[in-house]
Amino acid sequence: MRVAGGGTKKDVVNAALREYAERHERASPVAEHFRAAQEWDHEGRQRRRAEDKHGGM
- By the 8 A CB rule, do 25 and 18 touch? no
What local confidence, expressed as pLDDT, does residue 6 receive?
A: 66
Q: Quick one: pLDDT at residue 22?
A: 92
pTM for this model (two decimals): 0.46
pLDDT band at 7 (very low <50, low <70, confident <90, very high): confident
At residue 20 the predicted structure's pLDDT band, cuts being 50, 70 and 90, is very high
The pLDDT of residue 2 is 56
pLDDT at 18 over 90: yes
Comparing 4 with 36, the larger pLDDT belongs to: 36
